Structure 1
């Protein structure tokens, strides 16, 4: 898969042939997104054309609503990794600027979709490319002027509710990691590097790898989780704490610390991924470090039992 960074207006074709182009922001690349991309992939295979997927480098709400506190399920790199696994040929990342946010629906079609040499455009029923009352899927044929085919993918649901990134972010923030899994079709993952902590876990006999993550990622609610953690290219069972270290009394900031089972290596500065499975308890302020240590033993025993009864999906 080739990753292509785009700016508006698009001036160069990305492929020698025409393309099948799937549109969306695709945060999380959840089950609804996977269905849409598979629809586009089937069309591409039938027409013997490459499949391209286009997203933006940031969510439009950051520009339209000046909302810089927006939480992402995926970084662009995480999104690209998922697209590659889905068999996408070109992953297009359009730079979303103030200027780009102000173009008309016709400009978007003429200077993006047509400029990319789209033969077929595939998008969800609610996809918009400008003012939603005008630049919507119902009006896309008017702007397209028969220059490409259009496939509108209907709403995808789970348990009677729409599968959407908003619902998934809410599940993550509420610690409902099993619901997040059901909607995503895979476990939520946070990635980053291993940073230096206060080494309090080492003192207690439960050394932790401290995740330094991209600060706009959705964060699970405060508490302890059954997780798997990837270091040195290998996944290990682990228990991960999201919290403020209230017993230790450190500064008011969130820490994500993974105690990796059956692992004892110096991995500071190396990449780490955390795959979130289940919320096990909230954060507790203990009267002593001895009481905290006793609870950590119980946490580890319980999480090991959880994984013994739940094969990795």
Structure 2
């Protein structure tokens, strides 16, 4: 897969022949996105044309709503990895600037879609390319002017729940990582580097890896979770706490602390990926270290039972 980052205006076509073009932001590349891209890939194979996905370097809400604290389901690199697995030939990332946001629907089609040499454009039922009352799927043919074909994917839903990135973000923020995994098609993942903590877990028999937190990705609600941790290229069952150290007198902000089962190596500075499987319990303040240790023993037992049932 070739990844191409473009500034607007697009100076020249980037392919020598026409493409099957899929449009969207695709945060999370959830099961709805996957269905759309797989259907576009079938069209590409039938027409013997490359499949191109066009997205943006930032969510349009960052510009339209001046929302610089917008949180994402995945990083750009994570998105690229998923697109490649789906058989995308070209991933085009346009820098979403103030100037680009002010394009009229007609200019978007003329100066972007046509410059990308679309033979067929595949979009979701709710795709917009400007003000949604004008730049919607219903009006797309008017701006296309028969210069390319348009295929519209219907709404994807599970148990009447619309599969959408906004809904998945809310599910994660409320701790419903199981629903998020169902809609994403895999457990939600958080990656970072292991940093130094206060080594309190070591003192009570539960050493933890403290994950560096990224402000740009959605974090699960505070609580204890069944997770799997990937370190040194290998996955381990684990339990992870998101929250504040309320049992101890000092409080140094929100932390993600993971006790990795069957792992005793030094890990500071190493990359770690967490896959979030199940919310176990809310955080609470304990009367002391003994009560905390007893609860952690129970949490570990519950999580081991959960993974045993999951695997058998």
TM interval, shorter chain, is over 0.9
Is structure 2 residue 107 aligned with structure 1 residue 107?
yes
In structure 2, list runs of 5 or more residues that go unmatched.
none
Deviation at 1:136, TM superposition (A): 1.4
CA displacement 1:124-171 (0-9 Å, x = unmatched): 111111111111111111211222111111111110121111111111
- Alignment deviations for residues 87-127 of structure 1 (CA, whole Å, 9 cap, x no partner): 11111111111111111111111111111111111111111
Are 2:264 and 1:258 equivalent residues in the alignment? no
- State how far apart, in whole Å, the 2-side matches of 1:42 and 1:234 are: 34
Shift of 1:199: 1.4
The alpha-carbon deviation at position 252 of structure 1 amounts to: 4.9
* Counterpart mapping for 1:160-171 below 5 A: 160-171=160-171
Q: Check the 8 A contact 2:192/2:213 in 1, yes or no.
A: yes
In the alignment, the residues of structure 1 paired with residue 8 and residue 129 of structure 2 have an alpha-carbon distance, to the nearest angstrom, of 13
The structure-2 alpha-carbon separation of the partners of 1:12 and 1:196, relative to structure 1 and needing over 3 Å to count, comes to farther
Aligned partners of 2:21 and 2:53 also within 8 Å:
yes
Name the residue aligned to 1:231: 231
User: After the TM superposition, which of the residue ranges 66-75 and 124-133 deviates more from structure 2?
Assistant: 66-75
Report the equivalent of 1:181: 181
Does the aligned pair in 2 maintain the 1:204–1:293 contact within 8 Å? yes
**Aligned counterpart, 2:191:** 191
Partner of 2:130 in structure 1? 130
Q: Is the 8 A contact 2:2 2:91 kept in 1?
A: yes
CA RMSD across the alignment: 1.3
Q: How many residues align?
A: 312
Do 1:52 and 1:90's aligned partners in 2 also have CA atoms closer than 8 Å?
yes
CA distance in 1, matches of 2:152, 2:111: 21
Q: Is the 8 A contact 1:188 1:276 kept in 2?
A: yes
Question: 8 Å contact 1:12–1:115 — kept in the other structure?
Answer: yes
Q: Is the 8 A contact 2:195 2:212 kept in 1?
A: yes
In 2, distance between residues paired with 1:197 and 1:72? 26
Residue equivalent to 2:86: 86
Structure 1 CA distance, aligned partners of 2:267 and 2:4? 32
When structure 1 is superposed on structure 2, of 195-204 and 39-48 the one drifting more is 195-204
Deviations 1:237-294 (A, max 9, x none): 0000001111123335210111100001122122111000000011111111121111
Q: Secondary structure of the residue that 1:296 maps to in structure 2?
A: helix
Q: Deviations over 1:197-235 (max 9, x none)?
A: 111111221111111132121111110000001011111
Which residue in the other structure is 1:208 paired with? 208
* Structure-1 separation of matches of 2:37 and 2:311: 28
- Corresponding residue for 1:53? 53
Please give the alpha-carbon distance, in whole angstroms, between the structure 2 residues aligned to 1:249 and 1:189: 31
2:96: which partner in 1?
A: 96
- The 1-side partners of 2:84 and 2:148 are apart by 25
Contact in 2 for aligned 1:195/1:269 (Cα 8 Å) = yes
Q: How does 1:35-54 map to 2 (within 5 A)?
A: 35-54=35-54
> Does the C-alpha gap of structure 1 residues 112 and 250 become closer, same or farther in structure 2, counting only changes over 3 Å?
farther
Q: What CA distance in whole angstroms lies between the structure 2 residues aligned with 1:78 and 1:147?
A: 33
The Cα shift of 1:12 comes to 3.1
Bigger shift: residues 68-77 or 20-29:
68-77
- Give the secondary structure class of the aligned counterpart of 2:181: helix
Q: Give yes or no for contact 1:244–1:250 (8 Å, CA) kept in 2.
A: no
Contact 2:213/2:255 (8 A) holds in 1: no
